[in-house]
Amino acid sequence: MELHQAIDAYCERVGAAFWAEPLNAVSNGAFLIAAVVAFVLWRRAARGTSGPDVYALALIALVAVVGAGSFLFHTFAVRWAALADVIPIALFIHAYLLLALKRYLALSWGRAGLGLLAFLALSPLIGWMAQFPFGSSSSYVPAAAALYGVGGLAWRRDPTVGKSLIGIGALFSLSLAWRMADEPLCSVWPVGTHFMWHIFNAIVLFLLLRLLICRKPGYTGGSKQFQETSRTGSRIEKSNGSPF
């Protein structure tokens, strides 16, 4: 594979210049904003717990890396930059799913790991089946399915968590629609819609991080404790003036 081979995959790009995709490039700042706000929530939430949640912190850092990798791809637009774009996204999806199975469904690490392996095994099949009508966006359909699936399973144990995940899944589905609309609308909207995919995805990732932060490690009770920590997170978010 030629790592420096040019890639022209989005409506906004009409040349090989570094800033040929200005909206697609700059909109990645939304991921950095999401990471910064989530980090503030994480720091303040950590003061009321027995210790910092290192898993949530790692995912916050990964969201910042997602933004940086996507910026590289939409400026350099070559294969090595594409890898810098997709690898952090894949890491976030799989790491978050593992933690979701552990925390939201109260599975052991072993069973959560088996669930992740099942997701890895089924993802290619789901993506292949979703090629029509999702096209190049079909690779993200398994992630959407996981949000709905884990949300549905969590609903009986904790309706608050279940509803949150399903709501985030719906928002991610809307985000996918923006990604899919980029090429079809190119003739009437020359800048494309891919930048909206970035903005909506940043909101999705922030909401996932917020849910994880409000969900204390080792939590085994019902929805009451979650609602208490969630309200704490809401107060933190409000006092911080979060744009989300």
User: Which residues fall in the annotated binding site?
Assistant: 21, 74, 194, 198
Q: Which of 8, 1, 6 is nearest to 186 (CA)?
A: 8
Q: Which residues make up each annotated binding site for Zn(2+)?
A: 74, 194, 198
Looking at residue 86, its amino acid is V
Residue 55: alpha-carbon gap to chain centroid: 15
Alpha helices in the chain (DSSP H): 22-26, 29-46, 54-76, 79-103, 109-129, 131-134, 141-157, 159-181, 194-214, 223-240
User: How buried is residue 182: exposed, middle or buried, by Cβ count under 10 Å (0-12/13-18/19+)?
Assistant: buried
CA atoms in the 13 A half-sphere facing the CB of 236: 21
Question: CB neighbours of 158 closer than 8 A, spacing ≥ 6?
Answer: 104, 222, 223, 226
Interhelix angle 159-181/223-240, nearest 10 degrees: 50
